[in-house]
Chains A and B, each alone.
Chain A
Amino acid sequence: MEILKDRRNQIHRKGDEPGSITCEKASVAGSVSQRACVFCGSRVVLYPVADALHLVHGPIGCATYTWDIRGALSSGPELHRMSFSTDLNEMDVVYGAEQKLYHSLIELIDAYKPKAAFVYSTCIVGLIGDDVVSICKKVAAEKDIPVLPVEAPGFAGTKKDGYKIACDALLSLAGTANTDTISAKSINILGDFNIAGETWVIRDYYQRMGVNVVATVTGDGRVNDIQKMHGATLNVVQCSGSMTHLARSLKEKYNIPFIRVSYFGIEDTAAALYDVARFFGDDSMLARTKELVRQETQAIMPEIRRYARDLEGKKAAIYVGGAFKAFSLVRALRTLGMGTVLVGTQTGNPEDYEQLREICDPGTIIVDDANPLELCSFLKEQRCDVFIGGVKERALAYKLGLGFCDHNHERKEALAGFIGMRNFAREIHATIMSPIWKFVPRDNCEDSGNPS
């Protein structure tokens, strides 16, 4: 398979060569990239805030494609699951659509009485130059709720830049509500989006440890909690790709320290909880945490051992959005006796890839911003048994006759926490051991079929 010259340094084989992998580059024109855009980045981060209004200012597509795609569950209000759009038409593009935006906002706020409104401006709005900021200000003043412009035209960078824009919107909400009742042993959970109810799993652990959770950002998120988040003592960041910027800003502005954790896999979940307990320096909390880890691990280990007996020596490939998730997956797979032979991300940074290189076995292919042709070729070369990725990778894996596990937006089972490890093991076992693979010829994968 031919690899574009510009992309050669974005692929690395551990053990082959020293030097670092190139990343954080825009995809080359003409690539079949698995990446999305700035708007997408901002939308996926903010969308789980369930009692806010989310209005997409642009032509209809951007609203349709992000309508309830993420499975970000809410224990209360579900306003976030509606899809609101100004649905710009040709005339709007010619004459501007500020009035349309204004009226839409007024109409929606009157109808739904949301706690805040996020206004996402897409490619076209960035181009025609609607003054979204001033409309938001005007509506905020009239309706007395925060109305936050999320200026995220798709072309203005990568998905990661969209995360940053979303973090800035969240930061502008923080610090606007009273924090008197918040105890000293309190945290914000940053970077979990409650896909398949994962925020609930994590929140429950902290509550059992005696930690007060102020805001969950943004899974099962509420505006008022976010407004109070500056009152927490510690920020615990899971999805580092999306939330490190917010954690840093909260540190600068409110002097709240943060730690990076992961809730995927037994080791990482336990480490996360211990890190938090140690941070508070409370022996009884540490004791409770130990007990929690013991109980939870004991509850899942027999089942996991059963799966691991079948999975020993099987090989996995990972292609996910953020790098932190990839680290955890490599470790979680080891728990199952499995090796990782290909690992890639859409948005990793140099330190991420360095760390991946350290934890992976020799021979592992590490790749940044891969395209399907490369993925196929590496999957074939590495003779994988399972592919862990997102929606566009699923069909690819199945076509190649491999098992698949969604670790992105389409999770149906929570994969976070101890119970998440059990679910993950079960899913990996189910897919790798499926009898269907007996009926699929596996050895003749081709890089591509030539046309005609």
Chain B
Amino acid sequence: MLLRHTPEKITDRNSLTINPAKTCQPIGAMYAALGIHGCLPHSHGSQGCCAYHRSTLTRHYKEPVMAATSAFTEGSAVFGGQANLIEAFQNIFKIYNPDIIAVHTTCLSETIGDDVGQIVRAAHDDGKIPTGKHVIHCNTPSYVGSHVTGFSNMVKGMVNYFAESSGRRNGRINIIPGWVEPSDMREIRRLVKEMGINPIIFPDTSGVLDAPQTGKHIFYPKGGTTVSDLKNTGDSRFTIALGEVASKAAGEALTAKCQVPCHTLDLPIGLEATDRFIDMISKLACVEVPGSINEERGQLVDVITDMQQYLYGKKVALFGDPDQLISLTEFLISIDMRPTHIVTGTPYKGFEERIRSITKDVVPDINIKNGQCADMFLLHQWIKNDPVDLLIGNTYGKYIARDEDIPLIRFGFPIMDRIGHTYFPSVGYKGALRLLEKILSAFMDRQDRDSKEESFELVM
């Protein structure tokens, strides 16, 4: 259908977004908040925002996603949402009994100027927040940044509210995993533990959004970073923040607040980024890389070696979130593919420069668009003008894939029409192997489907 509605001729647009490659801040804050144990996210605005975010997260994770709303009416829009928020605290603690409420704002509450920090303090002072319970917040106006910015803001909110420095180091390390799947958070934990270190990972949605079927609905599943761990982040030896856009702000806030040194790395997606992640931990924590991890790496390299002829020179278009795209682009280059068109709606100044530096020797004429008007419509136009062999991105890519008859590998957020993303990681060597398998299968399925009778082969 987009075929008819996407003309090949590209015209300059500066006021209009068509088929967005991003969404708004609050959903990111909601996702991050779900990575705290016993936390109920709270959307301070009209009901619709909360409903949309819950629906989208539910579609992606296939899990019940709980979050409350301030349920703004016209009155709240005129007189401010303070009364709603205070009433909400009381109702929530009474009925849903979370350990923590994590409030994020919306475009509405931001614009009317609600000072959520002040409201939370007032609620504390008036005894509206029960002893031992917590309320944290972050500001997430929908007209600034994107869903990734909202995620970053909520993670920073966790540091602002919880991190404490007791003056004694606890020997642990912090990992801020960035906007990745529960499976990725599990995989990061496994890798770090394999190196003999017990990390504090925050947020951690594993165990929350990949909970097993037990016949029970657990309002607060057993996963998520605990409050005591969030407090302990201030005593850790160092922090590794994965992804500049999603994690750096929180890592730096922790340095400023508790003097925990922070090292920002790319998301460990693909061979080289995973190498850097493992090497960094090994160096900073003074631990040897265990043989088991080297073995995983070797297996990945072995498969790439075996299959290089199928990867050579294949053109690929990508869209998604900046942190993910940077590492993914690097991985694709390292397996001899050609990222040709890249779009991310999330504004991030360093994006284009990073991608160009990764691709400059191989794809000097790459198309990159970031921020304003960087959308799926433009990506589609680029593909029409310069076709690719593969598309990698979230579910919204399926329109383009169908119209242009190119395979789509689902990667990123949201994925509403396939499963697996919550259970199988994309990070680490195992994750890279999974991505590689998907890419190869896409090409080989295609070859099997399209090859003529006389060139149809058994062994590939």
Contact = CB atoms under 8 A, between A and B. Distances in A.
Q: Do A and B come from one complex?
A: yes
Interface of A: 2-4, 26-40, 58-67, 78-79, 81-90, 92-93, 99-100, 103-104, 107-108, 111-112, 122-124, 126-128, 153-159, 371-373, 376, 391-392, 394-396, 398-401, 440-446, 448-452
A441 B215 contact: yes
B216 A155 contact: no
A221 to B, nearest CB: 16
B108 A376 contact: no
B52 A36 contact: yes
5 contacts: A32-B66, A36-B47, A65-B55, A373-B219, A398-B62
B38 interface: yes
B15 A445 contact: no
B20 interface: yes
B148 to A, nearest CB: 12
A27 B55 contact: no
A211 to B, nearest CB: 30
Going nearest first, the 6 A-B pairs with the smallest beta carbon separation are: A37-B48, A451-B38, A61-B24, A30-B88, A30-B91, A449-B218
B71 interface: yes
B99 A448 contact: no
B63 A395 contact: yes
B49 interface: yes
A400 B372 CA distance: 43
Contact of B1 (A37, A61, A81): A81
Contact of A446 (B90, B218, B373): B218
A397 B15 CA distance: 43
Contact of A67 (B1, B20, B107, B219): B20
A373 B88 contact: no
A392 B46 contact: no
A127 B226 CA distance: 38
A92 B108 contact: no
A405 B349 CA distance: 45
Contacts of A443: 215
Interface string B304-336: 000000000000000000000000000000000
B142 A451 contact: no
Given A29-B87, A30-B68, A78-B4, A89 B77 contact: no
B387 interface: no
A61 B27 contact: yes
A231 B6 CA distance: 36
Contacts of A36: 47-48, 51-52
A400 B215 contact: yes
A59 B24 contact: yes
B443 interface: no
A93 B141 CA distance: 11
Given A29-B85, A394-B58, A100 B216 contact: no
Contact of B108 (A34, A99, A154, A452): A154
Interface in B42-90: 42, 45-56, 58-59, 61-74, 76-77, 83-85, 87-90
B73 A60 contact: no
Contact of B218 (A29, A448, A452): A448
A99 B15 CA distance: 9
Contacts of A154: 45-49, 72, 108
B183 interface: no
Contacts of A90: 141, 143-144
Contacts of B24: 59-62, 64
Contacts of B66: 32, 372
Given A30-B92, A127-B77, A373-B219, 13 more contacts: A3-B95, A26-B71, A40-B51, A40-B52, A61-B23, A62-B48, A81-B1, A82-B19, A87-B372, A107-B15, A153-B77, A392-B58, A441-B214
B444 interface: no
A63 B213 contact: no
Contact of B215 (A28, A87, A445): A445
Contacts of B1: 78, 81
A233 B99 CA distance: 60
A82 B143 CA distance: 21
Nearest to B214: A441
A300 B239 CA distance: 64
B64 A82 contact: no
B196 interface: no
Given A154-B48, A155-B73, A83 B16 contact: no
Contact of B143 (A88, A376, A395): A88
Contacts of A391: 55, 58-59
A373 B50 contact: no
Contacts of A400: 215-217
Contact of A27 (B16, B71, B83): B71
B5 A78 contact: yes
Given A82-B19, A392-B58, A155 B49 contact: no
Contact of B22 (A31, A33, A64): A64
A124 B90 contact: no
Interface string B1-42: 110110100000101111110111111000000000110101
A115 to B, nearest CB: 15
A408 B112 CA distance: 34
A93 B222 CA distance: 41
Contacts of A100: 15
A396 B64 contact: yes
A452 B143 contact: no
B168 interface: no
B94 interface: yes
Nearest to A91: B143
B160 interface: no
Contact of B144 (A89, A123, A448, A452): A89
A386 to B, nearest CB: 15
Contact of A35 (B4, B51, B211, B219): B51
Given A395-B63, A400-B217, A451-B37, A33 B107 contact: no
Contacts of B107: 58-59, 61, 93, 122-124
B261 interface: no
B95 A27 contact: no
Contact of A32 (B73, B83, B96): B96
Interface in B121-139: none
Contacts of B64: 372, 392, 395-396, 399
Contacts of A67: 19-20, 396
Contacts of B48: 36-40, 62, 154, 159
Contacts of B143: 59, 88-90, 92-93, 124
Nearest to B147: A61
Nearest to B143: A59
B429 interface: no
Contacts of B92: 30
Interface string B87-114: 1111110111111000000111001100
A284 B433 CA distance: 69
A37 B47 CA distance: 6
A396 B96 CA distance: 16
Contact of A123 (B45, B63, B216): B45
A127 B142 CA distance: 14
Contact of A87 (B17, B67, B221): B17
B277 interface: no
B215 A401 contact: yes
Contacts of B38: 451-452
Nearest to A27: B71
Contacts of B220: 448-451
